[in-house]
Structure 1
Protein backbone atom coordinates (compact mmCIF):
# COMPACT_ATOMS: atom_id res chain seq x y z
CA UNK A 1 0.00 0.00 0.00
CA UNK A 2 2.79 2.40 0.90
CA UNK A 3 4.56 1.62 -2.38
CA UNK A 4 1.41 2.42 -4.39
CA UNK A 5 1.01 5.70 -2.49
CA UNK A 6 4.66 6.63 -3.15
CA UNK A 7 4.43 5.79 -6.86
CA UNK A 8 1.20 7.80 -7.30
CA UNK A 9 2.56 10.75 -5.36
CA UNK A 10 5.83 10.77 -7.33
CA UNK A 11 3.94 10.63 -10.62
CA UNK A 12 1.60 13.43 -9.56
CA UNK A 13 4.51 15.57 -8.38
CA UNK A 14 6.17 15.16 -11.78
CA UNK A 15 2.97 16.00 -13.67
CA UNK A 16 2.13 19.00 -11.48
CA UNK A 17 5.74 20.22 -11.67
CA UNK A 18 5.85 19.82 -15.44
CA UNK A 19 2.60 21.71 -15.71
CA UNK A 20 4.03 24.54 -13.60
CA UNK A 21 7.21 24.71 -15.68
CA UNK A 22 5.15 24.74 -18.89
CA UNK A 23 2.97 27.54 -17.50
CA UNK A 24 6.01 29.67 -16.67
CA UNK A 25 7.56 29.06 -20.09
CA UNK A 26 4.30 29.80 -21.90
CA UNK A 27 3.71 32.96 -19.87
CA UNK A 28 7.23 34.17 -20.73
CA UNK A 29 6.50 33.40 -24.38
CA UNK A 30 3.25 35.35 -24.13
CA UNK A 31 5.05 38.39 -22.67
CA UNK A 32 7.79 38.14 -25.31
CA UNK A 33 5.36 37.95 -28.23
CA UNK A 34 3.14 40.70 -26.86
CA UNK A 35 5.74 43.32 -25.90
CA UNK A 36 8.79 42.48 -28.01
CA UNK A 37 7.25 41.14 -31.22
CA UNK A 38 4.08 43.26 -30.89
CA UNK A 39 2.10 40.20 -32.03
CA UNK A 40 0.53 38.35 -29.06
CA UNK A 41 0.33 34.59 -29.17
CA UNK A 42 -3.37 33.69 -28.69
CA UNK A 43 -2.87 29.97 -28.10
CA UNK A 44 -0.35 30.28 -25.25
CA UNK A 45 -2.69 32.26 -22.99
CA UNK A 46 -5.46 29.71 -23.49
CA UNK A 47 -3.14 26.78 -22.85
CA UNK A 48 -1.83 28.36 -19.63
CA UNK A 49 -5.40 28.62 -18.31
CA UNK A 50 -6.02 24.92 -18.97
CA UNK A 51 -2.65 23.93 -17.50
CA UNK A 52 -3.49 25.93 -14.38
CA UNK A 53 -6.68 23.91 -13.93
CA UNK A 54 -4.73 20.67 -14.42
CA UNK A 55 -2.03 21.70 -11.93
CA UNK A 56 -4.66 22.71 -9.37
CA UNK A 57 -6.54 19.41 -9.59
CA UNK A 58 -3.36 17.35 -9.59
CA UNK A 59 -2.17 19.31 -6.56
CA UNK A 60 -5.48 18.65 -4.80
CA UNK A 61 -4.95 14.92 -5.39
CA UNK A 62 -1.46 15.15 -3.88
CA UNK A 63 -2.92 16.87 -0.82
CA UNK A 64 -5.62 14.18 -0.57
CA UNK A 65 -2.88 11.55 -0.48
CA UNK A 66 -1.13 13.40 2.32
CA UNK A 67 -4.39 13.96 4.23
CA UNK A 68 -3.42 17.61 4.14
CA UNK A 69 -6.80 19.17 3.44
CA UNK A 70 -8.16 21.72 5.82
CA UNK A 71 -9.61 20.40 9.06
CA UNK A 72 -10.50 21.73 12.48
CA UNK A 73 -8.60 19.65 15.04
CA UNK A 74 -9.84 21.71 17.98
CA UNK A 75 -13.19 19.94 17.56
CA UNK A 76 -11.87 16.39 17.25
CA UNK A 77 -9.14 16.79 19.89
CA UNK A 78 -11.80 16.70 22.61
CA UNK A 79 -12.79 13.13 21.70
CA UNK A 80 -11.20 9.82 22.59
CA UNK A 81 -8.73 8.27 20.11
CA UNK A 82 -11.40 5.76 19.04
CA UNK A 83 -13.89 8.50 18.17
CA UNK A 84 -11.13 10.49 16.46
CA UNK A 85 -10.42 7.45 14.29
CA UNK A 86 -14.12 7.10 13.38
CA UNK A 87 -14.37 10.81 12.54
CA UNK A 88 -11.24 10.59 10.38
CA UNK A 89 -12.65 7.59 8.51
CA UNK A 90 -15.98 9.41 8.13
CA UNK A 91 -14.12 12.40 6.65
CA UNK A 92 -12.36 10.11 4.18
CA UNK A 93 -15.70 8.55 3.21
CA UNK A 94 -17.10 12.03 2.52
CA UNK A 95 -14.05 12.81 0.36
CA UNK A 96 -14.55 9.48 -1.45
CA UNK A 97 -18.23 10.27 -2.12
CA UNK A 98 -17.36 13.79 -3.34
CA UNK A 99 -14.70 12.40 -5.67
CA UNK A 100 -17.04 9.73 -7.01
CA UNK A 101 -20.07 11.95 -7.57
CA UNK A 102 -18.60 15.32 -8.49
CA UNK A 103 -15.24 14.54 -10.03
CA UNK A 104 -15.75 11.12 -11.62
CA UNK A 105 -19.46 11.09 -12.52
CA UNK A 106 -19.73 14.85 -13.15
CA UNK A 107 -16.33 14.91 -14.83
CA UNK A 108 -17.28 12.16 -17.26
CA UNK A 109 -20.54 13.96 -18.07
CA UNK A 110 -18.89 17.34 -18.68
CA UNK A 111 -15.99 15.78 -20.59
CA UNK A 112 -18.27 13.92 -22.99
CA UNK A 113 -20.47 17.00 -23.37
CA UNK A 114 -17.47 19.23 -24.12
CA UNK A 115 -15.96 16.89 -26.72
CA UNK A 116 -18.15 18.60 -29.33
CA UNK A 117 -16.79 22.06 -28.49
CA UNK A 118 -13.48 23.31 -29.82
CA UNK A 119 -11.20 25.79 -28.06
CA UNK A 120 -10.98 29.12 -29.83
CA UNK A 121 -7.22 29.44 -30.16
CA UNK A 122 -5.93 25.88 -29.90
CA UNK A 123 -8.57 24.16 -32.02
CA UNK A 124 -8.68 21.18 -29.63
CA UNK A 125 -11.83 19.66 -28.15
CA UNK A 126 -12.52 21.28 -24.75
CA UNK A 127 -13.29 17.82 -23.37
CA UNK A 128 -9.61 16.91 -23.70
CA UNK A 129 -8.83 19.48 -21.03
CA UNK A 130 -11.73 18.35 -18.81
CA UNK A 131 -10.52 14.74 -18.68
CA UNK A 132 -8.43 15.71 -15.65
CA UNK A 133 -11.59 15.84 -13.52
CA UNK A 134 -12.46 12.13 -13.65
CA UNK A 135 -8.77 11.23 -13.59
CA UNK A 136 -8.20 13.16 -10.36
CA UNK A 137 -11.47 11.83 -8.98
CA UNK A 138 -10.19 8.28 -9.41
CA UNK A 139 -6.84 9.22 -7.88
CA UNK A 140 -8.61 10.84 -4.92
CA UNK A 141 -10.72 7.70 -4.45
CA UNK A 142 -7.58 5.54 -4.44
CA UNK A 143 -5.94 7.87 -1.93
CA UNK A 144 -9.00 7.93 0.35
CA UNK A 145 -9.08 4.11 0.41
CA UNK A 146 -5.37 4.08 1.25
CA UNK A 147 -6.01 6.71 3.94
CA UNK A 148 -8.83 4.65 5.47
CA UNK A 149 -6.58 1.58 5.60
CA UNK A 150 -3.81 3.64 7.24
CA UNK A 151 -6.21 5.20 9.76
CA UNK A 152 -7.64 1.78 10.59
CA UNK A 153 -4.17 0.35 11.21
CA UNK A 154 -2.32 3.28 12.76
CA UNK A 155 -4.96 5.67 14.08
CA UNK A 156 -5.20 9.33 13.12
CA UNK A 157 -1.77 10.26 11.76
CA UNK A 158 -1.27 12.59 8.80
CA UNK A 159 1.28 11.78 6.11
CA UNK A 160 3.34 14.76 7.30
CA UNK A 161 3.44 13.36 10.85
CA UNK A 162 4.41 9.97 9.43
CA UNK A 163 7.31 11.54 7.52
CA UNK A 164 8.53 13.30 10.66
CA UNK A 165 8.38 10.10 12.75
Structure 2
Protein backbone atom coordinates (compact mmCIF):
# COMPACT_ATOMS: atom_id res chain seq x y z
CA UNK A 1 0.00 0.00 0.00
CA UNK A 2 2.85 2.35 0.77
CA UNK A 3 4.28 1.87 -2.74
CA UNK A 4 0.93 2.63 -4.35
CA UNK A 5 0.64 5.81 -2.30
CA UNK A 6 4.17 6.79 -3.30
CA UNK A 7 3.42 6.11 -6.98
CA UNK A 8 0.23 8.14 -6.71
CA UNK A 9 2.23 11.11 -5.47
CA UNK A 10 5.33 10.75 -7.63
CA UNK A 11 4.58 8.73 -10.79
CA UNK A 12 4.58 11.65 -13.19
CA UNK A 13 7.60 13.22 -11.51
CA UNK A 14 9.51 9.95 -11.82
CA UNK A 15 8.60 9.48 -15.49
CA UNK A 16 9.30 13.12 -16.35
CA UNK A 17 12.61 13.08 -14.50
CA UNK A 18 13.77 9.88 -16.18
CA UNK A 19 12.73 11.11 -19.60
CA UNK A 20 14.47 14.46 -19.11
CA UNK A 21 17.62 12.74 -17.84
CA UNK A 22 17.68 10.38 -20.81
CA UNK A 23 16.90 13.24 -23.20
CA UNK A 24 19.85 15.28 -21.89
CA UNK A 25 22.17 12.26 -21.93
CA UNK A 26 21.23 11.26 -25.49
CA UNK A 27 21.57 14.78 -26.87
CA UNK A 28 24.85 15.23 -24.99
CA UNK A 29 26.11 12.02 -26.57
CA UNK A 30 25.10 13.30 -29.99
CA UNK A 31 26.91 16.62 -29.46
CA UNK A 32 30.01 14.75 -28.26
CA UNK A 33 29.97 12.41 -31.22
CA UNK A 34 29.38 15.17 -33.75
CA UNK A 35 31.84 17.81 -32.52
CA UNK A 36 34.51 15.81 -30.71
CA UNK A 37 34.57 12.55 -32.64
CA UNK A 38 33.48 14.09 -35.98
CA UNK A 39 31.08 11.20 -36.47
CA UNK A 40 27.39 11.84 -36.03
CA UNK A 41 25.02 9.08 -34.90
CA UNK A 42 21.75 8.46 -36.76
CA UNK A 43 19.48 7.47 -33.89
CA UNK A 44 19.78 10.09 -31.07
CA UNK A 45 17.64 12.77 -32.69
CA UNK A 46 14.86 10.30 -33.42
CA UNK A 47 14.93 8.81 -29.94
CA UNK A 48 15.01 12.22 -28.27
CA UNK A 49 12.00 13.27 -30.37
CA UNK A 50 10.06 10.22 -29.17
CA UNK A 51 11.10 10.82 -25.56
CA UNK A 52 9.95 14.43 -25.87
CA UNK A 53 6.56 13.30 -27.20
CA UNK A 54 6.09 11.03 -24.17
CA UNK A 55 7.36 13.84 -21.92
CA UNK A 56 4.70 16.18 -23.29
CA UNK A 57 1.72 13.90 -22.73
CA UNK A 58 2.85 12.81 -19.26
CA UNK A 59 3.42 16.50 -18.54
CA UNK A 60 -0.27 17.21 -19.16
CA UNK A 61 -1.14 14.81 -16.36
CA UNK A 62 1.50 16.35 -14.09
CA UNK A 63 0.10 19.83 -14.72
CA UNK A 64 -3.42 18.66 -13.88
CA UNK A 65 -2.18 16.93 -10.73
CA UNK A 66 -0.55 20.15 -9.52
CA UNK A 67 -3.45 22.24 -10.81
CA UNK A 68 -1.00 24.27 -12.88
CA UNK A 69 -2.44 23.60 -16.32
CA UNK A 70 -3.41 26.55 -18.47
CA UNK A 71 -6.70 28.11 -17.54
CA UNK A 72 -8.16 31.56 -17.44
CA UNK A 73 -8.97 32.00 -13.78
CA UNK A 74 -9.08 35.75 -13.33
CA UNK A 75 -12.88 35.61 -13.08
CA UNK A 76 -12.69 32.80 -10.51
CA UNK A 77 -10.56 35.00 -8.27
CA UNK A 78 -13.38 37.55 -7.97
CA UNK A 79 -16.26 35.12 -7.47
CA UNK A 80 -17.52 33.78 -4.14
CA UNK A 81 -15.80 30.54 -3.18
CA UNK A 82 -18.80 28.26 -3.83
CA UNK A 83 -19.50 29.77 -7.23
CA UNK A 84 -15.82 29.57 -8.15
CA UNK A 85 -15.79 25.87 -7.20
CA UNK A 86 -18.85 25.32 -9.40
CA UNK A 87 -17.14 26.93 -12.39
CA UNK A 88 -13.98 24.93 -11.71
CA UNK A 89 -16.11 21.78 -11.75
CA UNK A 90 -17.72 22.81 -15.04
CA UNK A 91 -14.29 23.49 -16.51
CA UNK A 92 -13.04 20.12 -15.30
CA UNK A 93 -16.07 18.40 -16.83
CA UNK A 94 -15.28 19.98 -20.19
CA UNK A 95 -11.60 19.03 -19.81
CA UNK A 96 -12.62 15.48 -18.88
CA UNK A 97 -14.87 15.26 -21.96
CA UNK A 98 -12.02 16.56 -24.12
CA UNK A 99 -9.71 13.97 -22.54
CA UNK A 100 -12.17 11.20 -23.41
CA UNK A 101 -12.25 12.34 -27.05
CA UNK A 102 -8.46 12.50 -27.23
CA UNK A 103 -8.13 9.15 -25.44
CA UNK A 104 -10.45 7.43 -27.91
CA UNK A 105 -8.73 9.05 -30.89
CA UNK A 106 -5.33 8.08 -29.46
CA UNK A 107 -6.42 4.47 -29.00
CA UNK A 108 -7.66 4.40 -32.60
CA UNK A 109 -4.37 5.77 -33.92
CA UNK A 110 -2.43 3.36 -31.71
CA UNK A 111 -4.46 0.42 -33.02
CA UNK A 112 -3.91 1.55 -36.61
CA UNK A 113 -0.15 1.68 -36.16
CA UNK A 114 -0.21 -1.59 -34.22
CA UNK A 115 -2.00 -3.23 -37.14
CA UNK A 116 0.47 -1.94 -39.72
CA UNK A 117 3.55 -2.71 -37.61
CA UNK A 118 5.23 0.36 -39.12
CA UNK A 119 8.64 1.00 -37.58
CA UNK A 120 10.74 4.10 -37.09
CA UNK A 121 13.50 4.77 -39.65
CA UNK A 122 16.61 4.73 -37.45
CA UNK A 123 15.66 2.69 -34.41
CA UNK A 124 13.25 0.24 -36.06
CA UNK A 125 10.93 0.40 -33.06
CA UNK A 126 7.19 0.09 -33.69
CA UNK A 127 5.62 3.53 -34.12
CA UNK A 128 2.69 2.25 -32.09
CA UNK A 129 4.93 2.68 -29.02
CA UNK A 130 5.27 6.37 -29.81
CA UNK A 131 1.55 6.84 -30.43
CA UNK A 132 0.74 5.01 -27.19
CA UNK A 133 1.85 8.19 -25.40
CA UNK A 134 -1.43 9.94 -26.26
CA UNK A 135 -3.85 7.47 -24.62
CA UNK A 136 -1.51 6.85 -21.67
CA UNK A 137 -1.04 10.58 -21.02
CA UNK A 138 -4.73 11.36 -21.25
CA UNK A 139 -5.72 8.33 -19.16
CA UNK A 140 -3.40 9.66 -16.44
CA UNK A 141 -4.95 13.11 -16.95
CA UNK A 142 -8.46 11.73 -16.46
CA UNK A 143 -7.39 9.98 -13.25
CA UNK A 144 -5.86 13.23 -11.94
CA UNK A 145 -9.00 15.20 -12.83
CA UNK A 146 -11.12 12.70 -10.89
CA UNK A 147 -8.73 12.84 -7.93
CA UNK A 148 -8.78 16.66 -7.89
CA UNK A 149 -12.57 16.75 -7.92
CA UNK A 150 -12.84 14.14 -5.17
CA UNK A 151 -10.55 16.35 -3.07
CA UNK A 152 -12.72 19.37 -3.84
CA UNK A 153 -15.89 17.53 -2.81
CA UNK A 154 -14.23 16.42 0.43
CA UNK A 155 -13.40 20.04 1.15
CA UNK A 156 -9.67 19.64 0.60
CA UNK A 157 -8.30 22.64 -1.21
CA UNK A 158 -6.56 21.70 -4.46
CA UNK A 159 -3.57 23.98 -4.41
CA UNK A 160 -2.57 25.84 -7.52
CA UNK A 161 1.04 25.99 -8.45
CA UNK A 162 1.74 29.60 -9.32
CA UNK A 163 4.03 30.35 -12.21
CA UNK A 164 5.53 33.68 -13.13
CA UNK A 165 6.98 34.72 -16.42
Place the TM-score, normalised by the shorter chain, in its bin.
0.7 to 0.9
The answer to whether the 8 Å contact 2:119/2:126 transfers is yes
Root-mean-square deviation (CA), in Å? 2.1
Unaligned runs of 5+ in 2: none
Residue aligning to 1:79 = 79
Could you tell me the TM-score, scaled by structure 1's length? 0.86
Higher helix share: 1
Residue aligning to 1:21 = 21
The answer to whether the 8 Å contact 2:106/2:131 transfers is yes
Give the total of aligned pairs: 158
- The structure 1 segments of at least 4 consecutive aligned residues displaced by more than 6 Å after TM superposition are none
Shift, 1:119, TM fit: 0.5
Question: How far apart, CA to CA, are the structure 1 residues paired with 2:130 and 2:31?
Answer: 23
Could you tell me the TM-score, scaled by structure 2's length? 0.86
**SS of the counterpart of 1:42?**
coil
The answer to whether the 8 Å contact 2:148/2:158 transfers is no
Unaligned runs of 5+ in 1: none
Residue aligning to 2:129 = 128
Structure 1 position 46 matched with structure 2 position 46: yes
Residue aligning to 1:140 = 141
Q: 1:5 to 1:56 in 2, by over 3 A?
A: farther
